[in-house]
Structure 1
């Protein structure tokens, strides 16, 4: 297989290294191509603030160009995932704002979901304990969700006098669990237990609490060792095809798959198969 070089100017504008990123409002660690984002306000069940919303939005946006991050694990500290927006640091101030500033806030929170869906890395949410409000949205916006029997997922917006249409919930949640079940959760704000969440398809599977993060890292590591360029194409098509007819989707997939057939990873897989070896993917 022939090797080729990329123009340094193109690399400079489109490749980043994020392993050394210094997070300000959560924990960030990269090991073996797997990034772990830990929401770490355990004493309050890991609520979000204006600052953490913005930093998460910007970080997921920058992951588009990160060459050293192949998959992401999203987890909360202290036995809970995320309790949503901080009541004192977000909800209280919002009551005092006028429409332009409120729209600025809701667009910012929605942008977090957009960047999570737009980054090419698969995101694995490791959900234990409380997963409420914006926390439930972040779990929903992830590509896969591992839960525990004791997890409690609640789209609480109705309980605080707001509509269930928050941060893409009315678009994404029905696609995960069905229209009727999504309607129930969004209209009532009730908690979805772990076993019920697995049965409904919200969780890919349940783990013991002590094994949750290990299992999430194992899944993310398997993804990081795979054909990551092709995985990014899969994520893109899963998202974009929501707005396509079947005919449009089939044509879009034909073009996407032809592009993947040009990759070195596709060639590596073929030669490894012929040699009866396991392919060593490199993401190009």
Structure 2
């Protein structure tokens, strides 16, 4: 089933400038593959628990920015190779160099890492993080910036920043984490840097659900694929509104949702859902 809008009325120049496939993208600093409409990003340094480097930060940022124009990707799975998700910034390749940099270069780095989170929140595709083993520091931030999180009982999430002499306000953590698990619980994790185990993380609402380690990637891909079977244009609107409404009053949010929903009512997927209901059939959405 195609999810690519294919109206013959679309101007070819507009289409070329705003619809680009990602299936052929060759990643340099992690693994990337597209199967169906699901892209899988695999942090691939298992011998070091998949730490991030300056280069992988930048490539991830640019890839998530490109997702806005990807007509062949409608959900993303983010996973770590081996038995761990991500141990954060590489101690030798990032932390060591940072202590020697002057302020302008340090700000360049922190803005780059923040831009990665902004790109993840701005891309229209839902992101499913598959968390096993260590999920620490910037790795915990990547999980936080995702839309859904599946985990294992042995997963351990830690926002480690204060344990290395830094503030917990890193890459949007003080804005996003309290909205996921509440102000008090977020404060505990950001002040103490302690690990949040899988079972506790599920109770807190950090994890959507727990699965067996050997089934984690399959479950994450199945969840992503199920999202691709839905009205993907409307899913993108939902993600946008979930993000934008943090800064709105209730009245502003109600009006913004009225406008967003009216836009979705113009889609063919809305018509397909009605016609399928009338025919007592399951709708087949096409993302337009």
SS of the aligned residue for 2:40 comes to strand
Give the total of aligned pairs. 283
Q: CA RMSD in A?
A: 0.9
Q: Give structure 2 stretches of 5+ with no counterpart.
A: 1-6
SS of the aligned residue for 1:271 comes to helix
SS of the aligned residue for 1:282 comes to coil
Per the TM alignment, residue 165 of structure 1 is displaced from its structure 2 partner at its CA by: 0.2
1:70 aligns to 2:79 (yes or no): no
Map of 2:216 onto structure 1? 212
Map of 2:59 onto structure 1? 55
TM-score relative to the length of structure 1: 0.99
Per the TM alignment, residue 5 of structure 1 is displaced from its structure 2 partner at its CA by: 2.2
Deviations 1:178-212 (A, max 9, x none): 00000000000000000000000000000000011
Counterpart Cα distance in 2 of 1:211 and 1:154: 23
Map of 1:246 onto structure 2? 250
Map of 2:139 onto structure 1? 135
Map of 1:34 onto structure 2? 38
Counterpart Cα distance in 2 of 1:26 and 1:242: 32
Deviations 1:46-66 (A, max 9, x none): 000000000000000000000
Map of 2:230 onto structure 1? 226
Structure 1 residue ranges, 4+ long, deviating more than 4 angstroms after superposition: none
Deviations 1:118-152 (A, max 9, x none): 00000000000000000000000000000000000
Per the TM alignment, residue 277 of structure 1 is displaced from its structure 2 partner at its CA by: 1.1
Counterpart Cα distance in 2 of 1:106 and 1:84: 14
TM-score relative to the length of structure 2: 0.97
Map of 2:106 onto structure 1? 102
Alignment partner of 2:84 out of 80, 83, 97: 80
Per the TM alignment, residue 4 of structure 1 is displaced from its structure 2 partner at its CA by: 4.4
Q: Give structure 1 stretches of 5+ with no counterpart.
A: none
